[in-house]
Structures are given as structure tokens and as C-alpha cells.
Amino acid sequence: MPSTPESPAPESRTSATRTSEPRTPEPFTAEDYRARMDRAAESAADAGLAGVLVAPGPDLVYLTGYQPTAITERLTALVLAAGRPPVLVVPTLEAPDAEKAPGAAALTLRDWTDGKDPYTVTAPLLDAEGRFGVSDNAWAMHLLGLQKQLPSTSYVSLTEALPMLRAVKDAHELERIAAAGAAADEAYGEILTVAFAGRRETEVAADLAALLLRFGHSQVDFTVVGSGPNGANPHHEAGERVIRRGDMVVLDFGGLKHGYGSDTTRTVHVGEPTAEEQRVHDLVREAQQAGFEAVQPGVACQDVDRAARKVITDAGYGEYFIHRTGHGIGVTTHEPPYMIEGEARPIVPGMCFSIEPGVYLPGRFGVRIEDIVTATEDGPGRRFNNTPREMAIVE
């Protein structure tokens, strides 16, 4: 979803009710990153892979804490294989930054200079006939360069080969996701105090972005504001439509705080709703609760989707629920696992994901309600969003 422009946060009228800012989580240590890299290498071996190649992006941040200041055409690759020490191949000019990464002490750096072939540096680290998992955002030119050096190697997407690599969060990660969710909740509480009627969607979206930053987000990933008929588009990009009295307004927003994601949706109404609008909102709220109640260790991910979808289908609105019920969240705001029909993978304690059913009536209005949830050891799930799910009336 698109990022939105920043603007000064709206003046608070509820500051007296704000919760105190939670403490800043302790940073991850080199040992934390070493454990992640070891687990990734072992998981790759269990999946029949010779190893893992990780390009700059979310997987590299998760495994090493390293994010290049600029992602360029120069090869950077983390090489992991069971029984071998992890190696990070980096351009020489970026090596000083890589050496400062939180996980640098748990790996070996191997640098290459401009004018040299980076693939001749990387190739000796690989099994010449191996099959490797590769992070999804790796550049094609780099894979082709390695294949030219090692024509008998083959590659598969990490999302396909190791979809659960980042899915199960430890206590320190859960703390960060909880803090991000609480900050998003604060932003929602504040946005209810500002005027909606007579303002453009982009203005409300800018307010939401500013509020997320005020409450500690380092990055705003999306602020969907879908008013009236625009709410029937689940991924509507806030536009110049002026919000009117009588509009239903879908608010879906999130980003990163302490390196972990938030994502929540509430649907509000400008003035009093019609009986139908209230009925549809109540239906979606019931479906969202049914999805939440389905969260138990060992239950298939698809059963969360089925539970939420059944409520909406039984009420006659099934054709208007047009997306999956949820997605995982962590160092990115969308990642595996997915709460969707056909995903038979069992829920494991520590998995974090959204539950966000919706009903979208073309040309009229839409309703979506979303919380981030984690599975606990003994059930039920735990919500990371705790703002009221009842329809809020705004002015």
C-alpha cells in the first residue's frame, strides 16, 4: 500500500487519557542473530537445500540486523549453509557499515572492490551443484551472474522453500509488535477527535501518518482512507474526494516501530448511520470475532478464514468479502503465514497475523475491521489492537 505525505499531527484533545509510553525494547544481540542464522541454515538443510542466499531487504535485516544505506546494483549477499560459518559478501566501500551491524560479530565478512567480479568471490562459498533458497527481492542479474559461474546450481524463492522463516516470534519480537500495535491504537484514538466532514481523504491520511510518527513509528507504510463508495475498494489510495456527512469511512493504517509492524483497520461513520450500514458493520464485527475465536495452536490457518467467512456468507454477503482474512506481520507489514483457504499449515504459538474480514458493496460503501493477533501456548489468541470495534461516529 502507498505511503502518505506527512503533515503536522492534529492538535490533541485526548492527551490526558494517553497511556504512558512503554519502555524501549532492548536491542537484539549478536547471539540473537547467530541463533536466527543457525536456524535458517538448519531449516534449509531440512528442506533439502544446500543453503540460503539473502539479498538486502527484510530477510537480511531479520537475520543480521544489517541494512545497507542504499540498495544498489552492487552485490551484497549473506550465504548460509548448515555446518558452515555464515558469510556476508559486501562491496568494499560498504564494509565499514556492515561491520557495525548488530549481527556482524556472528558472521564473516568477505568484501570485493569495484572492478573485480563479485561472483568469483561468492561462488567458492556455494555448493557447485546445490539448490539454494534465495530471498524474494534478490536481483535477477546477481542470480544469473552466479549461475554463469556455477551452471549446475539452482534456486528457489525463500517464500516457497522456507515460508515460516520469520513467522514465529520470540518474546522480544512480540514486545515490539505489541508496542507498534499500541501506538497504532493511540493514533486511532486521536484521529477520532478531528473533523472528517468537508475534508479530503488525503488530509485525513496525512493526519494519520503524522500521528503514527508522533507515537513512535519510524516508518509509515500505508494510510488507507476510503470514504463513501471509495470504501468498497479494499486498497483504495487516499484521494481528493471530499468526505461528506453520511459517509462510511474505512481507515487502514500501519508501519514500523522498533523495526516491527503495525496494521489496524476501523470503519467509522460521519454522522448517524443508516440501519443497513449499521447492520453490515455489526456483521463484519461478528465475523472478526469469529476469526479471533478460531485462533488456537494446531488449528489450520485456513480455519481462521473459514470461521470469519462463514459469518458473512451465512448472512448473504459472501460475494462481497473479496480478500483473504489475514496475513502475517513482523519486520514487514505483510508476510507469511496467510489466513486463506488452502493454507493447511497449523498455527504455532508466536505466529502473528491480522484478522481483517470485510464487506465491500460496489458504488456504495465498505466495512473492514482488523486487529493483529498472536497465538499463545494454551489459547485463546492475544490481540495487539484493543480499540473499540464498534462503529465510531465522527463529525
Q: How far is CA 329 from CA 177, 212, 249, 262, 350, in A?
A: 9, 17, 24, 8, 11
| pLDDT score, position 8 | 41
Q: Determine which helix (DSSP H) or strand (DSSP E) holds 108, and give its type and residue range.
A: strand 108-112
Q: What are phi and psi of 255, to 5 degrees?
A: 180, -155
| pLDDT score, position 140 | 94
| pLDDT score, position 66 | 97
| pLDDT score, position 266 | 98
Q: Inform me whether the pLDDT recorded for 354 exceeds 60.
A: yes
pLDDT one-digit tens code per residue, 182-235: 999 999 999 999 999 999 999 999 999 999 999 999 999 999 999 999 999 999
Confidence of residue 17 (pLDDT cuts 50, 70, 90): very low
Q: Inform me whether the pLDDT recorded for 13 exceeds 90.
A: no
pLDDT one-digit tens code per residue, 356-386: 999 999 999 999 999 999 999 987 899 999 9
Q: Look at the chain and count its residues.
A: 395
| pLDDT score, position 166 | 96
Alpha helices in the chain (DSSP H): 30-46, 58-64, 95-99, 118-122, 140-149, 158-161, 171-191, 201-214, 275-293, 301-314
Q: What are phi and psi of 182, to 5 degrees?
A: -65, -40
pLDDT one-digit tens code per residue, 105-122: 999 999 999 999 999 999
| pLDDT score, position 22 | 62
Helices (runs of H) and strands (runs of E) counted in the chain: 10, 18
pLDDT one-digit tens code per residue, 234-259: 999 999 999 999 999 999 999 999 99
pTM above 0.75, yes or no: yes
Whole-angstrom distance, CA of residue 168 vs CA of residue 147: 32
| pLDDT score, position 21 | 56
Confidence of residue 71 (pLDDT cuts 50, 70, 90): confident
As a whole number, mean pLDDT of residues 310-315 equals 98
| pLDDT score, position 18 | 46
- Asked if residue 202 lies in contact with residue 22, where contact means CB atoms within 8 angstroms, the answer is no
| pLDDT score, position 297 | 96
| pLDDT score, position 371 | 98
| pLDDT score, position 5 | 37
Domains within the chain, CATH numbers bracketed: 30-161 (3.40.350.10), 167-394 (3.90.230.10)
Confidence of residue 69 (pLDDT cuts 50, 70, 90): confident
As a whole number, mean pLDDT of residues 39-52 equals 97
Of 61-65, 67-71, 278-282, least confident by mean pLDDT is 67-71
- Asked if residue 374 lies in contact with residue 176, where contact means CB atoms within 8 angstroms, the answer is no
